[in-house]
Structure formats: C-alpha cells, structure tokens
Amino acid sequence: MKSNNLPRFFTFTHAWSVTPVIAKFIACTSLIVSVPFAQAAQCSYTIPDNWNNGFKTEIVIENDTDQNLNDWSIELAWNQGISLQNSWNGQFDCNDTGCIITSQGHTVHANQSFGLGFVASKNGLAEEVVISLSGDICTNSGQTPPDAVTETGLWQLDNAESLLSYVSVKKDHVAELNQFVSPSSEAPALSGSIDADGLVKLAVDLNSVSTGVDIRNSRILDLLFETDLLPTAYFSTQVDHSLLSSLEIGIPTIHNLTGEVSLHGVNQEVSLDVLVVKLATGKVNVSTLTPMIIDSNTFDMDYGIEALRVVANLSSIGEAVPVYFNLTFLTAQQDSFQPVVKAEKPATPTQLSASVLSSDSKAQLNWNDNSNNETHYLVRFKPLDGSWQTAAELASNSSFYESGLPESGEFDYKVIALNNSVPSEPSNIERIVVTQTDPIARGMQLYKSGCAGCHGSEAGGLGSFPALNTERDIQTMIDIITTTMPYGTPSACDEQCATDIAAYLQTLWPAPLTCDVGVAPVAYGARQLKILTQTEYQNTVEDLLGVNFEVSDGLSPDSQVGFFINNTHASVQPSNYSNYLLVAEEVSQWVADNDFSPALSCAGVDEDCANKLVDELAPKIFRRPLTQDESQNYRLIATGFFHNGDIEAGMLLALEGLLSSPQFIYRHELGEPNPSNSELDADAFELTSWEMATFLSYTFTGSTPDQQLWQAAERDELRDEANITAHANRLAGSAKSVLGDFVGSWLGTGSLEVATKDQNFYPGFAQLVPAMKAEMNETFSYIMTEPDERFSSLYTANFTFVNQLLAEHYNIAGVTGDEMQKVDTTERGGILANGAFMSRWAEVAESHPILRSVRVRRRMLCQDQPDPPAGTFEAREQRLAELSDMLQDPATTNRLKYHSLTEGQPCSNCHEKYINPMGFGMEDFDAVGKIRSNDKNGNVIDASGILYAPEKYAEVSDSVAFNGAKQLGAVIADLSSAQSCLPQQMFRYVMGVGHDSVDPSSEEDRRLSETEQIGYMCEIDTLTDAMMQNSPRAMLEKFGSLKSVRYRKAWSRND
C-alpha cells in the first residue's frame, strides 16, 4: 500500500443523540496547510518543581498564527554543569551548557499551544537556575522566568498527580492492584484540601475504581461498595497548620496521622505513618510509609467480599486490604480554593427496638429519628454467625421498618443515618429470634443469604450462574435446589428450604408480554447507527468501486450478539478508527492506480473527473446527496486546491476521506420528524427515503442500494408503504447470500469447519464441509424465497441440495458435477435432518445427542435451556473415569453412554426430560450427517425420542413421542413455539435488537421498556402471520414495511 505523505486531519463532533446515553460521531474532512515560519510563536517556560539536586521545566510554544508549525527547533541555554535526566514531546540534544530541541514529528497547530519539557540534574549547582530560549520559531529570545509562588496556607489536591490504590489478594496468593482513576471529562476520582486551620479532607469517588476488567468493576460497585447509595469515601484528619510551610524543599519528613475514615456507612479511626516532602515552593507530596489497612469486617463489607468470591468462583479473597496513596498538594489562592465539602455527620438513631409480628411473619423495627440532616437511613442485619448486610435503604425522617423473616433463626439489626455518604454512628443492636413465617418470606430470606451472591439480588444471573427470574417447571427447580444447591454445600438446603426458595422465585417471574395495540398502537424501532459489518463493507466497495481483492479483513472485528454478527451497538473508537483509515487508504490507492475506473467513467484524471467524483460517486458512498458544505469541501480537495493543482492527489485524498467518514462507515437509521404523518407520535421519527433505501438494500442484499432504489429515494418514494413493499418484493429474490449468512449463524453451520472429525473414521470430511454448508444455505434460501414453499418445508422437506461429492457421501445416485443441485429425498431434507446441522453438533467420531438437543431447543424453539451448573464438567470427567470399562465395551451404544453419564444428580434434573429424550431421537444421523441404522460397532440404532415441553419450557408435563430426525422435524413444524421462533431470530438479525432484549447473554444488558417490547411482540405476530398464512417469503418481504423499521424513537434503555 502506498502512502501519499499528505497532511490530513479529521475533526470529530457528536452529531446525533441516538439515545439519552449514547451518541455516535459524524466526521467532516478539513485540511490545514503547513507552510514555512519565521519567529511565528511565543516560547515560554516555568520551573514548577525545584529541589536540592534537580528541577523540572515545562516549556510552552504558543502559535498565534493561522499556519501550522512543523520541523521547528529551539535553542535552550542553562547554567554550566546541568545535565538532562529525561524529557518529553521533543528531541533533546544536550550538553553541559544547554540543548537543541527539535520537533521529533510534533506539529504546533495554528492558533494552538504545544507543551514539552524535561527534568534535569543540578550536579551540585548552588546558584539559581537560569534558562533562556531562542530560535527561529520564537519571537522572544530572552529569559522567561517562572511566576513567583507564594504559599497561602491553603492547599488543594492535584488530582492529575495523585493516586490512591489498594491491593486485593485472591486464591491466597494472587495479588491484584486496584486503583481509583478519573474518567476523562468527568469528576475527579480524588478530591482533597487542607485549610488554614490544618483540617485535612480527602474524598474518594468509589465509582472510579479500576481493576482492569469492566465486569469486575461493576461487581465491586454493586456487591461491595454499594455505590448507588454510598458513592464516596472520606478520610479526615488534623495537622499543625504551620507544618507544610515550614518544610524545606527536598527534605523528606515522617509524620504519624490519626484520622477518621468514613466508608460503606461506617466511621472508623485509623492511624498511619506518611512521608511528606516539599517538591517546590507551593508543592507538597504526601505518601504512605505504612499502608492504611481496611478490614472488611470493620466496615460491614465481609458479606460483599463473600459475594464476590462466590460470583468469581474463587477459593478465597482477602478480607483486609492495604491502601496506599501518593498525593500532591498545591498551594491555592483564597479566591480559587475549593475545600472538600464533607456533609455533617447525622445524629445517631437511638432506642432501636425490634419485634416479630407473628400474624404476617415480619420483623418490625422502631427507632428515634434524632437527626435533622439525614438523606437516608440504612437498615442492616446479620444472622447470628453471619455478616452484616444491607436490608433496606429508607428515606429521610424514617423511624419504622418491616421485613419478611425466615422460618427460624436469630438475627441482629442496627440502623444508621446517612447524610449523603457520611454515616452516623450506628444505633444499638437489637436481636430477633424467629420461630415461624410464610414460605415466600422464608424463601426470600434463604435466597438472599444463600443464592443472591451467584444468581444476583433480583435473580437475574451473574457470570456463568443462570438467571432464575423466568418461568420454569417448579418441581424440577425444587429438585435441582434440593440436590445441588447451594453450590459447594448442597446438603445445606433440604426439600423444605428448596420449596420456600422456589415459592419466592415465582414472585419474580414476570407475566409474559404479548402484543397489545392498546399499549403500542404503533411499533416504534430504535433510532440507531449500525457500523457496516466486514461482509457489508467488502460487498459495498466491490459494488461501488470495482474492488477485486479482500480488504475487509483489515477492519476491526465485528461484534457478535447471541448467534449473530451485530454491530448495531458498537461504535468506532479512536483506538480502532485507524483500521478504517488504513483500509480507506488501501482501497483509494488501488482505485487511483486504476485511473479511478471502474468507479468513475473519465476520459482522464482531470477537473471533470474530480467533479464526477464529488457529484456522482460521493453521494453513492454516503448513500444520500451531499450537503452544500460537504460538496464544497470535497470539491476543493478533489480538484487539487490543497495540492498545488495536483488533481490526482486531490482525488485520492478526497476518496480516502469519503471512505473513512462515519457517513460511509455507519448505516443511518435515525429518521426525521414528519408532522404531516398522522401515525407518528410527537416524539417519533420517520426514516427518510435515503435511509429506507439503505435499510432495504443491506437487509436483502448485504450491499449498497442499487440504481432502482437510488432513483426511488431521489423521488422520495420510500415513505410510502406500497412502494416499500414493491422494492422488498423485488429484492427478496436477491437475498440468497444474506439468508445463507443468517442460517449459518442461527444454526451454527456457518462455522462447520470447527467441528473436526476423526480421520481414522472420516478421512474425507474436510473436503465435504464447503458442500455441506452450501447444502444448508441453498435449502434454507430456496424455502425462504420460493413463493409456493411453506414454513413446514423447513422441517419436513423431502428434498435437499447436493453436488456429486456430497451425493456420493449420502449415497444419493444420479448427481454429477460440482454445482449444487436440488434432489428429492425421503430420509433427509430441510434444516434439521440436514448433514451440516448433524455434523456441526456431533463429536469427532460419534453423534452428540446433548449438543443437538440443546441447539434445537434454544435455536429452533427459542426456549431458554439453562447452562449446566458450576462444577458439572468436573463431575462429568469423574463419571467418565468411573464408567471407563463400560464405555470401552463395543456393545455400549452412544445412547447408553450419554444416559449413563447424565442419569445421576445434578445432571438428571435437566437431562432426564429436557435434553436426552429429544437428543436420542436424532441418533439415526451419525457424526458426519449420514443416515444409519447401526453404529460403527454394529449395534442397532434406537432413534426413539420424546420432546418434552414442546411449547413452553415450564410445561414439562406436555410431551410428544417421535422416532428419528425426520419425525422430530414433523413435530417441530406444527409447534407454535417453532413458528414464532424463526421470526424472532430473523427480527434480531435484521433489526440488531431482539424483541425482548438487546443482549440477553450480557451481564450488562440494557433492558427494553415494556412499551418497546410490546411493540416488537406485535411485529413478531405480524411476521408470523405473514409466514403461516402465506409463505416464508411473504414474511421475509414483510420486513421492509414493518412500522418498527419505518418509524423510530429514541428509546430509553435502562442498564
């Protein structure tokens, strides 16, 4: 790839607020010409730090002109004998009398300033440091001494040069350093002040904790710090007000500090030794000589520590951590001094009393509200031998609390008043002895004490531990809890305990949402921007520019949500934008090397050709007409205005800018207000014809709009449903590639090559993989696009597509050649009884009934089959060892193997009905998708099966018997669960969001509002009706005219 070595700058601004919390950028291209300079800037310096043996100097170059300054140099002189220690933002060539400083590639931009600097050693110099700056770049050449600093007795923490961290130890010996780091443009992590009376206050924003892992950060905030209510920690102490002013520069001193820490609703006195050193006049550093020890038990945090340990599946986490800080304070002027404001401590609640209301099995607390400044009250409790945990957060002026109780046990309660993050001293502790209560209250207490650490406080799931807040079979749940929970100590919860927990969990199960036009008369989609996927990018540059080589592999990897590639909620960051720049350069250079053909039809690379690039090609790249400003800017660039008339260089740069612009990188689905459309709410938006053309084209063809769509958009015809439907009907016949991508992702067959096989049994499988993938893609796309095919064909079709190689593998006669051909079959056909599906979900030498069954239930029936509980795979390995002799017996069938592996607890809870019976019914297909009646050892295949819970996962008492994969397909074809599942899967694939969630697999999933979900459920019903009353093609075509496609809102999505 060539480089044109031209200066190029891209300015990014937030252009649209797609949601209240998400904005993505739009870029415009601007170029600034770099020209020679002569004494074009002001050069000045300061010496902010000056100690006995050295000093730090900061230099600022202020460019007050409209020209960039490149390849600049500065001559610096200093007292003889000084030597350079280190430097930044320039090339320093120094001796004992000074330095020559050169740009090292750094540009001083027009009307901006640029900073550089160094640290030097005095090497015994006794006199004052004297520095002078000169050079062609500087208008001033004399000495520019630093401003005098006068210490005022007021000191402000310099957050940028201060750090607070702690060390956490897990698994007894693995130490991790966690820090409090200020996010850019947000409030500082640390705030501190020392006033004239010597009162020291340090505030720590606990939300700024950084462990290096986002999910770990969120767990610490939620489970340990509880920052929703207690976001700030404080340390305060008193020092002699004259201490800092009396320090000598560069001479460290040790001081013992005794102060108070306010953390997690607890005040605690601490004592520690600190090292204090004055770095310069008005600048003091304070650091820990011995760490401050924070004990989780002291601060009511050991319950949170245990929750973190369980969630992370760790053997241990240290309960006491050393805290270290390195703080820099600068003297402050009276008018700029900002003392840390720590709220006044509330008065302590007194006379706490506690009793049990036997009538409704509740604990009742009463106390005296003595404070007049509290913002909240905390109620905390702990079992007799347990840890303090938060039971409730109450509003100010509270003096009463009730809560459910377990059946028996002893519990201590205390109450703390809060003024923001500042706690009172705790009330007296009262103990409640519980003798009886109702099952739901018992279950809630048992769940919160024994289950919430793994499954979440609201049963939403954490990490690999599944969510329990959705409907499921009650008895199965009770059996699983009784035999396997709590994790690691299953004997701790008997059947009554499990029954109570199940009773409580049922109260968390939401009623299933259905379409309700009273709630959502119009289904609105979300305003959003979608990054082109790698495939879409490749298709687009091929269609627009004639590119004939692979370029998309240079882009950042696509995001995946669930089964599908989904860039809807991804965004281009500075860290990965360079990839788009590099690919744009590569593509543009290739186009220029080919005289801009076939992208443009030009007689030569001249001004007419440059105008064609702006007037004809640029709109196709942006997928809309250019604005007047865009057209003017790109025309200036393309016609060589910034390259001394070199049009080829200008066109090359203009094309690079177009291809690296967010207007090209993103698909826009934002819409605009349309008051004349009476269907729209006041806060709704309608996609423009240009946005609809883009949606239709990428949805059906995976590439940029064709000429017919472009002309329809020019005439603004794509706001009309009839016109949209006509184009959807036309384009559906071109959807083969997109449909192949969809089914390959949906059923996992797109990655069939990862399902490697034992070469001793299947030596030619690798050669079959392309044909098997093509078989699935051809079969699915044929059924989806042929108007006469019906939904049932997906599971019951008596045809498939093969070439000669695959036909010979399947023992199908009469097929020759490499092309895929439609052939009639009896034992295979559709997407289930299909070689690609059966091979993908199999072992290297045998079938895998568990994998097949779980994929059918999750992907074809859209049922939430939970993942195995923690520890299952270790137990499976142990069971394999126990069954070694049986498994090596040639008479042992695959069915018997998996039955024996899963017949015991905890496996049987799911395998006995949900998994094994359906999986065993697909044993008539071997590991490479061939029909069989005997296995490799000659054993007769038993493919009898039962599909339990065919419609709803919770209704396990319902079942349908079948024999073999083809019969299972016939069963599935008649299920409403399967009939609505395909539209649900395709809706997520097309829209970038599911009908009920953004990303259900993410622990940070953003939740859809109930109104948004109900609207999407109506869309699923519309798609399902079109498919079942007409054909899968009718459903596919219907996507173009969905209201949620045409009409959008800036939905608020809660984390």
Position 443 scores a pLDDT of 82
Least confident of 35-39, 488-492, 909-913: 35-39
Please state the separation of Cα 146 from the chain's center in Å.
Answer: 47
What CATH number does residue 183 fall under? 2.40.128.110
Lowest mean pLDDT across 425-439, 705-719, 771-785, 843-857: 425-439
Q: Please state which of the ranges 491-505, 732-746, 931-945 shows the lowest mean pLDDT.
A: 491-505
User: What residues pair up with 355 in beta bridges, in sequence order?
Assistant: 364
Model confidence band, residue 10 (pLDDT cutoffs 50, 70, 90): very low
Instruction: Indicate the residue among 134, 169, 201 that finishes a domain.
Output: 134
**Range 482-488 average pLDDT:** 80
| Cα 905 to chain centroid, rounded | 35
pLDDT at 1003: 53
List, for residues 502-526, the tens digit of each pLDDT value. 888 888 777 778 898 888 899 999 9
* The one-letter amino acid at 636: L
Note whether residue 859 is domain-resident. yes
Strands 944-948 and 959-963: antiparallel
**Residues of the chain with pLDDT > 90: what percent?**
55
Per-residue pLDDT band at 717 (split at 50, 70, 90): very high
Q: Determine, yes or no, domain membership for 900.
A: yes
Query: Is the per-residue pLDDT at 368 higher than 90?
Result: yes
Q: Are residues 788 and 881 both part of a single domain?
A: yes
190 and 323 in a single domain? The answer is yes
Burial class (CB in 10 A: 0-12, 13-18, 19+), 74: buried
Residues 659-686, mean pLDDT to the nearest whole number: 94
Give, as one character, the DSSP assignment of residue 438. Answer: -
Q: Which of 255, 273, 265 is nearest to 296 (CA)?
A: 265
Tokens of 77: 């002189």
Q: Is residue 166 part of a domain?
A: yes
* 691/558 same-domain check: no
Q: How many CB atoms lie within 10 A of CB 837?
A: 29
Distance CA 593, CA 588 (A): 8
Ramachandran sector of residue 64 (left: φ over 0; alpha: ψ -120 to 50; beta: rest): alpha
Q: How far is CA 148 from CA 280, 570, 769, 974, in A?
A: 11, 50, 77, 86
For 753, the 3-state DSSP assignment is: helix
Q: Are residues 226 and 350 in the same domain?
A: no
3-state secondary structure of 527: coil
Residue 75 sits in a domain of what CATH number? Answer: 2.60.40.290
Quote the CA–CA distance of 597 and 361 in Å, as a whole number.
81
CA-to-CA distance for 73 and 116, rounded, in angstroms?
A: 12
Phi–psi pair at 969, nearest 5 degrees: -60, -40
CB 960 within 8 A of CB 918: no
Q: How many CA atoms lie within 13 A of 151 on its CB side?
A: 21
Q: 860 and 800 in one domain?
A: yes
Residue 698 within a domain: yes
- Residues 897-952 have pLDDT tens digits of 999 999 877 788 789 999 999 999 999 999 999 999 999 999 999 999 999 999 99
- Indicate whether 849 and 966 sit together in one domain: yes
Is the pLDDT at 406 greater than 80? The verdict is no
Phi/psi at 485 (nearest 5 deg)? -120, 155
Of 435, 470, 503, the residue that ends a domain is 435
Q: What is the DSSP letter of 698?
A: H
The Cα 998–Cα 1009 span in angstroms is 11
CA distance readout (Å), 907 to 416, 879, 1012: 45, 11, 37
What confidence score (pLDDT) does residue 35 get? 33
Give the chain's domain count.
Answer: 6
Residue 1037's contacts (CB-CB under 8 Å, 6 or more residues apart) are 725, 728, 729, 732, 1026
pLDDT at residue 68, as a whole number:
83
Q: Is 539 in the same domain as 652? A: yes
- What are the counts of helices (DSSP H) followed by strands (DSSP E) for the chain? 32, 41
Question: CA 848 → CA 35, 118, 773, 852, 854, distances in Å?
Answer: 70, 66, 19, 6, 10
At 149-182, the pLDDT tens digits run 788 999 999 988 899 988 887 766 677 888 998 8
- Of 583, 593, 585, 577, give the one whose Cα is nearest residue 653: 585
Considering the domain boundaries, does residue 474 fall inside one? no
**Given phi > 0 = left and psi -120 to 50 = alpha, else beta, which region is 91?**
beta
Distance (Å, rounded) from C-alpha 477 to C-alpha 508? 14
d(CA 890, CA 220): 53
Of the listed ranges 177-181, 851-855, 1035-1039, the one predicted with least confidence: 177-181
Among the listed residues 942, 952, 947, the one whose alpha carbon sits nearest the alpha carbon of residue 832: 947
Is residue 598 over pLDDT 90? Answer: yes
**Spatial distance between the Cα atoms of 405 and 440, rounded to a whole number of angstroms:** 9
Residue 487: closest CA among 304, 314, 317, 300:
314
Alpha helices in 257-407 (DSSP H): 302-311
Average pLDDT of the chain is 87
Distance of CA 960 to the CA centre of its chain: 40
**For residue 1050, which of 688, 691, 690, 684 has the smallest C-alpha distance?**
684
Q: Which of 935, 954, 980 is the last residue of a domain?
A: 980
C-alpha distances (whole Å) from 62 to each of 11, 69, 105 are 21, 10, 17
Dihedral angle of Cα 1018, 1020, 1022, 1026, to the nearest 10 degrees = -170
> Are 190 and 324 in contact, with CB atoms under 8 Å apart?
no
Range of the domain at 368: 343-392+410-435
User: Is 963 among the domain residues?
Assistant: yes
pTM here is: 0.61
Alpha-carbon span 517 to 1019, nearest angstrom: 11
671 is written with which tokens?
A: 């819409």
Rounded-to-integer distance, Cα 430 and Cα 365, Å: 9
Residue 141's pLDDT is 45
User: By the 8 A CB rule, do 944 and 920 touch?
Assistant: yes
User: Which pLDDT score is estimated for 928?
Assistant: 97
How much is the pLDDT for 996? 85
* pLDDT value of residue 703: 97
Same domain, 829 and 748: yes
Of 853, 876, 873, 847, the closest CA to residue 865 belongs to 853
Q: What is the pLDDT of residues 581-590, one digit of tens each?
A: 999 999 999 9
Helix (H) or strand (E) run with residue 583 in it: helix 574-593
Q: What is the pLDDT of residue 17?
A: 27
> Residues 582, 702: one domain?
no
* Block residue for tokens 């969905």: 1042
Instruction: Clarify whether residues 214 and 86 are in a common domain.
Output: no
Asked if residue 897 and residue 782 are part of one domain, the reply reads yes
Average pLDDT rounded to a whole number, residues 273-298:
88
**297 within a domain of the structure (yes/no):** yes
Task: Let me know if residue 540 belongs to a domain.
Answer: yes
For 188-212, the pLDDT digits (tens) are: 889 999 999 999 999 999 999 988 8
Q: Hey, what are 713's tokens?
A: 């958009």
Determine what percent of the chain is predicted with pLDDT higher than 70: 92
Residues 562 and 705 both lie in one domain: no
CA 835 to chain centre: 35
- pLDDT given at position 471: 78
pLDDT of 435 over the 70 cut: no
- Exposed/middle/buried for residue 248 (C-beta within 10 Å: 0-12, 13-18, 19+): exposed
